[in-house]
Amino acid sequence: MNQYLYDGTADGLLSAIAWILEEEPDPEKVMLRERMDTLFEEGFTIGTDATLAESLFFRLKQFAPDAAHTLYSFMLAEKEGMETSLLHYVSLAFKHGDQVKGYLTHPAVRDIVYIAKKAGRELHRMKGLLRFEKLRDGAYLAKMAPDYNIIHPLADYFSRRLRAQHWFIYDVKRRTAVRWNNGSLQFGTIEQFTTPAFSEDEKKVQALWQAFFKTIAIPERKNPRLQKSNMPMKYWKYLVEKQGE
Amino acid sequence: MDTFAKLQILSGAARYDVSCASSGSKREAPSCGTGNTSSSGICHSWADDGRCISLLKILLSNDCIYDCAYCVNRSTNPMERASFTAREVIEITLDFYRRNYIEGLFLSSAVMQSPDYTMESMVRVAEALRTEEQFGGYIHLKIIPGCSSELVRKAGLYADRISVNIELPSQASLQRLAPQKHKNAILEPMALIGREISTSLVERKVSRRAPQFAPAGQSTQMIIGASPENDFQILRLSQGLYKKMNLKRVYYSAYVPVTADNRLPVLASPPLLREHRLYQADWLLRFYGFSAEEILSEDAPHLDESFDPKTAWALRHPEFFPVEINRADFATLLRVPGIGVLSAKRIIAARRFSLITYEGMKKIGVVLKRAKYFITCSGRSFEKPDQPPALIRQQLLLSENREALVSAPSKQLVLPGFFA
Ligand code: SF4
């Protein structure tokens, strides 16, 4: 079985897949993993080519939009050690189109779809759970610590929703940040984060929200288990309504 | 009274209204404004009772001139009264929306002064949000029974969803418990809304610029257990509402005693299990191709407490089973207990590649401990064939009761189409 290596980057992974699909007669029979640069490493290293990576993604998007969406969500998970599965998945997607998602009896499809779903679910959850706080200068800031690297699609989503505001989203875990101002998004990293001063009415609005959160629950129907399963505790740290509980 | 105190009173009063759906509408944010709606619906938090919070759900006022027996806000109930100004509601909505606490506003109200006065104040809030503040988020307005049709029309132009509560499942009960409300004052606006929605859909086919009327459709709510109607009557009513009035959703709300009144039943606890079974039966009506008459009958007018309505149906119809997983069509698969819409779709999709095996079914998400009595897989059955229904009944009860009893029925709305 042929063995290929790539440099560990997302672009590297996709361009390696593109290369293999092009050159290998039976891509479902080869393996792909990250190059570790150990002495006796076996395998042929495929160089990274960002344009190749991009064109692979766009071709897949045209041919099988749903499978491309799965690929995208999977990449958000930054999972290591599943490159071979991803290669097989993409190869199958080019064969069967979007119907590949029904092929859950295939281990590679199942694994990729499973991870992609988890990442997609967190992205969807975060669209609801992200909380902005108003700063003294009128901009808004949201902090989060998601399991998956979802800041890009999340920022995209909020750029359509909160168009008229100037805002920031900061991923505390990865120290990455995005800023929306005057109709454009800018991504970057923050090495040293200091929380800026809040606007004067921020505390008041938060208190209103906390009061609403408390009163909207029906006291006869308390159900902390259901609450936790819908809204896992790992997200509570940045939820205004869960502060001081 | 300050906004904070008002919010506490007026959100507390709104909490028994169950509709939290914010889906079904797709609105782009105005380029200089705030907010859009998302067609799959988004939960922003989950309250202590486990329900999804997606909208700022409040009453404009709880200062009611009516005296409905089952309602906290009834005029004879001694309690603190409050009313928001339009400005206050607008400010809170925008403040919450900009911080991503909510998808939008769900505004209802007690009847102040008159139905028209109340409805007009509510419409004014929605109008100002849309036209002055360029608000593109979700708005749901309750229609006050008895208000003019002009106001109903206006409400539909600004809101994503409008709804009229049917309150109780029969006119007799309405008369007894809510004497100031009349059946016609409820059904007429419903019919009007239904007509306006279809007209607007037709017009928008011709021109994209025709105004949208309540794009997320119409819903209603009824209280379960405050009056004597049985489940069959209730399901037939819902069926009629879906078919004749084109409603998107009927919400059932277990009666929670809030005031003492000798016209009301005394319940040890709210009938949550009954409410849960009604929701399940309602799903069968909307997504599984069942009719109310298949689920219940005059002779057996109550939903089974121990089984979900689909399993109950299957147990009554042994002649329909077993169903062959590798051959049955979609509609037939849907009738198998333990196979939902999603797993039925997956089965059809997976069959394209290979025959489905027992293992394969597990991966697809079929609940085998329920389905196994009703299916064959390439001719093979999992349980002894032709067991009498009584025996299956017993086995199902044994395997399921433990969980069924501990897991409280959830009212969590399932977001249709999300990650299907
Ligand atoms: S009209 Fe509405 S708010 Fe007033 S008492 Fe009746 S149900 Fe309650």
CATH of the domain at B114: 3.20.20
For B391-411, what is the mean pLDDT? 57
Alpha-helix runs per DSSP H in chain A? 10-23, 50-63, 65-76, 83-96, 107-129, 151-161, 202-216, 224-230
Looking at residue B128, the DSSP 8-state letter turns out to be I
Residue A9 confidence (pLDDT) above 80: yes
Distance CA B245, CA A4 (A): 62
Q: Would you say the CB of residue B130 lies under 6 angstroms from ligand 1?
A: no
Q: Same structural domain for residues B210 and B324?
A: no
Alpha carbon of B83 to ligand 1 centroid (Å)? 14
Mean pLDDT of chain B: 84
Among A18-22, B277-281, B353-357, the minimum mean pLDDT is found in B353-357
- Residue B214 to residue A24: CA distance in whole angstroms: 54
Angle at B39 between CA B44 and CA A180, to 5 degrees: 65
Angle at the Cα of A14 from the Cα atoms of A11 and A15, rounded to 5 degrees: 80
Cα-Cα-Cα-Cα dihedral sign, residues B222, B225, B228, B233: positive
At which of B220, B241, B274 does a domain end?
B220
* In-domain check, residue B354: yes
What are the DSSP calls for A44-101, one per residue? EEPPP-HHHHHHHHHHHHHH-HHHHHHHHHHHHTT-SS-HHHHHHHHHHHHHHGGGGG
Residue B122 has pLDDT above 60, yes or no: yes
**What integer pLDDT is reported at residue B408 of this predicted model?**
39
Q: What is residue B406's predicted lDDT score, i.e. its pLDDT?
A: 38
Q: What is the pLDDT of residues B135-176, one digit of tens each?
A: 999 999 999 999 999 999 999 999 998 889 888 888 889 899
Q: Which of B96, B256, B354 sits opposite A105 (nearest CB)?
A: B354
What mean pLDDT comes out for the span A104-118?
Answer: 91
Residue B299 lies in a domain: no
Of residues A146 and B400, the one with the higher pLDDT is: A146
Confirm or reject: Cβ of B223 under 6 Å from ligand 1.
no
pLDDT of residue B46: 93
State the pLDDT at residue B30: 57
The domain boundary residue, chosen from B220, B249, B276 = B220
Q: Is the pLDDT of residue B410 over 60?
A: no
Percent of chain B predicted with pLDDT > 90: 38
Rounded to the nearest angstrom, the minimum Cα separation between B15 and chain A is 5
Considering only the beta carbons, identify the residue of A132, A208, A222 that sits closest to B48: A222
Residue A90 has pLDDT above 90, yes or no: yes
Q: How confident is the model at residue A15 (pLDDT cuts 50, 70, 90)?
A: very high
As a whole number, mean pLDDT of residues B288-300 equals: 91
Q: Averaged over A192-213, what is the pLDDT?
A: 92
DSSP state of B83: B
Report how many domains make up chain B. 2
List pLDDT tens digits, range B358-369: 888 888 888 888
For residues B88 and B200, membership in a common domain is answered with: yes
Answer whether B60's CB lies under 8 Å from B121's CB.
yes
Q: What is the pLDDT of residues B267-283, one digit of tens each?
A: 777 788 899 999 999 99
pLDDT at residue B17 tops 90: no
- ipTM of this model? 0.90
pLDDT digits (tens, 9 = 90+) for A135-188: 999 999 999 999 999 999 999 999 999 999 999 999 999 999 999 998 899 999
Q: Where are the domains of chain A?
A: 3-123, 130-242
Residue B308: is its pLDDT beyond 60? Answer: yes
CB-CB under 8 Å, B410 with A226:
yes
Q: Which domain holds residue B380?
A: 309-403
